[in-house]
Amino acid sequence: MTDEQTNREKNIKRKQLVKFVKHVLEKGPSGLQKEFSSMKRFNDFEKMKAFKQAQERGKNRYKDVGCLDNNRVKLAPPWPYDYIHGNYVATPNNAKRFICTQAPLEKTCADFWFMCLQDKVEAIFMLCNLMEKGAKKCFEYYPSKDKTLEFEEKGHKITMKFSKSEAKVMETVLTVEGQGATLKTTHYHWVDWPDRGVPAADMALCELLAKARLSKAPIVVHCSAGIGRTGSVVMIEYMMDQLLSGQVIEDSDKILQKIREQRNNSIQTEHQYLFVHQVMMNYFMEKKMFDENAKLAHLDFTEKYHKAVH
């Protein structure tokens, strides 16, 4: 973490989080689950025309996970077509903080890497594994040690080379070449986040976001469909962006609504919604922002959270 980031964290004031913490503690896990259930998920395919056209070309991983037209990522010429199942998603102070996208298919690997080149992406979060519970969730779109991968789309070639890897969250530096451009990007693979489930609500995600936040380019995030685990990460960073810029955290349901207007049906389960709140509460605890009463209430919330998600 840079000195500037550390200072911004130190400048977070209790008044910025009081309303959020009060809401979370008063509702408790069961109240938050009800809050989430009241926000129905649906596809308005009239707002997803490019998605419907791409269905015939086999460019969508799931036919019931739509991609909104209004802020979809468009691949620019000389790429042969402009569609990829990805949306720009804003946080309060960054209009293109994220690109939320589906896990690459064999047919879309070249599109994925062209998108990264086009947007000069320096950080990619992969929140799924290639196989989960015996089902293929993602094509192997990035090279492992000592390998080079090449993908082609109508004569347009893109090459990836492995540079180095670290063991923590499977951090790999990749070199991407294509269309006369070269890009160095860091690929973070989170290996133990279960599909439709939640990992440990520790500081790992906050630390990962702190690293990636240094990049001015969009952060690419994907799980398999690019809405559940992906939406959880986006919602946490949305709140962190408000905190670090001196704003008061908005109501959770309003934040999720704003995210869903950009990436349809983000956050798929009650457990993922609870996880977002638990991570934020643990972050406040870690940064010593709670008084004694709040500490006790946080313990009670955490106990109920574990019962709810396990």
Q: Is the pLDDT of residue 296 over 90?
A: yes
Q: What is the pLDDT of residue 195?
A: 83
pLDDT of residue 156: 86
pLDDT of residue 7: 77
Please provide the DSSP assignment of 205-242 as one string. HHHHHHHHTT-SSPEEEE-SSSSHHHHHHHHHHHHHHH
Q: What CATH number is given to the structural domain containing 24?
A: 3.90.190.10
The 10 Å Cβ neighbour count of residue 35 is 18
67-87 pLDDT per residue, tens = 999 999 999 999 999 999 999
Could you tell me what percent of the chain has a pLDDT over 90? 82
Question: If pLDDT is split at 50, 70 and 90, which confidence band does 92 have?
Answer: very high
pLDDT band of residue 167 (cuts 50, 70, 90) is very low
Q: Is the pLDDT of residue 279 over 90?
A: yes
301 versus 147: the higher-pLDDT residue is 301
How would residue 157 be classed by pLDDT, with cut points 50, 70 and 90?
confident
Domain that holds residue 72: 3-309
CA dist., res. 50 & res. 83, Å (int): 7
Q: Report the pLDDT value the prediction gives residue 165, as an integer from 0 to 100.
A: 56
For range 214-225, the mean pLDDT: 97
- What pLDDT is stored for residue 72 in this prediction? 99
| Highest-pLDDT range among 13-17, 88-92, 155-159 | 88-92
**Confidence class for position 162, pLDDT limits 50, 70, 90:** confident
DSSP H helix total and E strand total for the chain: 9, 11
pLDDT in tens, 240-261: 999 999 999 999 999 999 999 9
Average pLDDT, the chain: 93
In the chain, how many domains are there? 1
Residue in this structure with the two tokens 């959770």, named with its chain if needed: 252
Rounded to the nearest angstrom, the gap between the alpha carbon of residue 109 and the centroid of all alpha carbons in its chain is 19
pLDDT at 192: 86
At residue 263, the 3 state secondary structure works out as coil
Q: Measured between alpha carbons, how far is residue 23 from residues 40, 145, 234 in Å?
A: 21, 47, 20
Classify each residue of 176-215 as buried b or exposed e, where b means 16 or more C-beta atoms within 10 Å of its C-beta. bbbeeeebebbbbbbeebebeebbebeeebbebbbbbbee
The pLDDT value given to residue 161: 82
Least confident of 166-170, 191-195, 234-238, 239-243: 166-170
State the pairing for strand pair 156-166/171-178. Answer: antiparallel
Residue 6 has pLDDT above 90, yes or no: no
